[in-house]
Amino acid sequence: MRIGVLALQGAFREHMLDLEALGASAVAVRLPSQLDDLRGLIIPGGESTAIAKLMRTYGFYDPIRLRHLDGMAVWGTCAGAILMADRIADARPDQEPLGLMRMLVRRNAFGRQVDSFEASLGFDGFESPFPGVFIRAPQIERIAEGVTVLARHAGQPVAARQGDLLATTFHPELTGDPRIHRYFLDHVVGAR
Determine, following the binding rule CB under 6 A, whether residue 43 of this chain makes contact with ligand GLN: no
Count of beta carbons in the 10 Å neighbourhood of residue 164: 21
Q: Which stretch binds ligand GLN (CB under 6 A): 12-20, 77-85, 96-104, 147-155?
A: 77-85
List the x/- string, 125-164, binding to ligand GLN by CB under 6 A: ----------xx----------------------------
Question: Bridge-partner residues for 121, per DSSP?
Answer: 130
**Three-class DSSP category at 41:** strand
Contact 69, 81 (CB under 8 A): no
The CA distance from 116 to 176, in Å, is 18
Residue 36 or residue 90: which is nearer to ligand GLN going by CB? 90
Determine, following the binding rule CB under 6 A, whether residue 168 of this chain makes contact with ligand GLN: no
The CA distance from 119 to 107, in Å, is 19
Residue 33 or residue 113: which is nearer to ligand GLN going by CB? 113
Count of beta carbons in the 10 Å neighbourhood of residue 177: 17
Determine, following the binding rule CB under 6 A, whether residue 109 of this chain makes contact with ligand GLN: no
- Residues lying near ligand GLN in the complex (CB under 6 A): 45-48, 78-79, 82, 107-108, 135-136
